[in-house]
Every structure is written in structure tokens, then in C-alpha cells.
């Protein structure tokens, strides 16, 4: 039996590092699709803003989050004046958006990013190079942020293998001496 996207559990990566987000903080879920992370993060007490190009996907999410319909690839970034305590992006890659995503991070904010990487073309879709991160590309995009965790490789979990890159990175003030976050273990 195939599950609808909205019935899927949130990413283990997002669940693992959500504890780095300020309690009760604001979260931006970019290209949220049908909202598996929006719903989960809202249930954890975060104020979530969900952005996607699909009105049909956004409409039901407005019960638990601020929903914004926006063309992320063909129109200007709609949130230029807003900062968030976390930005979450999963299974989406549009490189020209990276400066806007970084600019959306408030001081102390967390970037949780997870998407397909080079090698995925060997096992399934997406297979076009413009949708696959190159080796270490996500690390390069996060230069200047404090990288808390990074993974790049083949993930054979959940019965279907895929090549991914994942990062959890914090926008720390330049004067920060020590991390103000404690890493959470599985299930925390």
C-alpha cells in the first residue's frame, strides 16, 4: 500500500535536529508539498510558515500554519523582510534560492536541509543533474554557518535506497564562543 505524501512520517533528519530550534520559534518550510513537516513541526509548538507553488497543497495546511503560495523559481522571493528561527527544506533543490534562504535565518536560527545528491541517477529519480547536489555542495552553500551535522552518501533505509546530502547548520553570531545548543539523540 502506497502512502500519500501527507501521511508520510517527517524526515528522521528533521525530527533529530528540530530540538535545535528555539522553543516556540518560527519555522519556514520551503517547498513544503503536502506538509508532512509543517504538520509535525506545528504539533511540536512551532509557528510554521509553509511555502509552496501549489495552492491545493497549501490550502489544508492553513489550519495549522501560515500558508503562502509562491513561485519559488520564477518570481522574486516573497519573504525578503522576514527572519525565522529555522528554515526547513527537504527533497527540493533550486540553487538560486540559497541566498534568500540564508537571509531568512535569524541570529541563532537553524537550517535543516535534506535533498538528493549525485549518484541518485543510478537508482531512480530525480536523475537530472540540476536536481542533484554535487559532492560537498551543501557544505559549500552553508559556508560561514556552524555545521552541527552533515551527511553525504547512500541512504538505504526505509526499504528504498537513495543518494542524499543533509545538513543541520546554525547561524551563530560572530561573537559566539561556544555553541548554545546541545545535540539531541535519536528519539529526543
| 76 alpha carbon, distance to own chain's centre | 20
- The C-alpha cell that represents 174 in the structure block: 560572530
Of 126 and 82, the structure prediction assigns the larger pLDDT to: 82
- Indicate if the pLDDT at residue 177 is higher than 60: no
Confidence of residue 161 (pLDDT cuts 50, 70, 90): confident
pLDDT at position 131 is 85
pLDDT at position 159 is 59
- Indicate if the pLDDT at residue 178 is higher than 80: no
Q: Where are the domains of the chain?
A: 22-170
Model confidence, pTM: 0.87
pLDDT tens for residues 68-86?
999 999 999 999 999 999 9
pLDDT at position 184 is 56
pLDDT at position 154 is 83
- Percentage of the chain beyond pLDDT 70 is 86
Task: Give the torsion through C-alpha atoms of 114, 119, 122, 123, to 10 deg.
Answer: -30
pLDDT at position 5 is 47
pLDDT at position 3 is 38
- Indicate if the pLDDT at residue 20 is higher than 80: yes
What is the rounded distance in angstroms from the CA atom of residue 175 to the CA atom of residue 188? 29
Confidence of residue 1 (pLDDT cuts 50, 70, 90): very low
Q: Maximum CA pair distance of the chain?
A: 52
- Name beta bridge partners: 49: 28, 66
The CATH classification number of 22-170 equals 3.40.50.150
Amino acid at each position: 500500500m502506497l502512502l500519500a505524501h501527507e501521511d508520510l512520517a517527517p524526515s528522521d533528519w528533521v525530527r533529530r535536529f528540530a530540538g535545535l530550534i528555539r522553543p516556540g520559534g518560527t519555522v519556514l518550510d520551503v517547498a513544503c508539498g503536502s506538509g508532512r513537516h509543517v504538520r509535525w513541526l506545528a504539533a511540536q509548538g512551532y509557528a510554521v510558515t509553509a511555502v509552496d507553488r501549489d495552492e491545493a497543497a497549501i490550502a489544508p495546511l492553513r489550519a495549522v500554519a501560515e500558508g503562502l503560495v509562491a513561485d519559488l523559481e520564477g518570481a522574486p522571493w516573497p519573504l525578503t523582510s522576514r527572519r525565522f528561527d529555522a528554515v526547513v527544506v527537504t527533497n527540493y533543490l533550486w540553487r538560486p534560492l540559497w541566498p534568500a534562504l540564508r537571509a531568512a535565518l535569524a541570529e541563532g536560527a537553524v537550517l535543516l536541509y535534506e535533498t538528493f545528491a549525485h549518484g541518485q541517477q543510478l537508482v531512480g529519480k530525480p536523475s537530472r543533474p540540476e536536481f542533484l547536489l554535487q559532492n560537498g555542495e551543501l557544505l559549500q552553500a552553508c559556508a560561514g554557518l556552524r555545521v552541527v551535522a552533515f551527511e553525504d552518501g547512500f541512504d538505504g533505509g526505509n526499504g528504498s535506497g537513495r543518494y542524499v546530502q543533509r545538513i543541520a547548520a546554525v547561524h551563530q553570531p560572530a561573537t559566539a564562543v561556544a555553541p548554545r545548543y546541545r545535540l539531541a539523540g535519536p528519539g529526543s
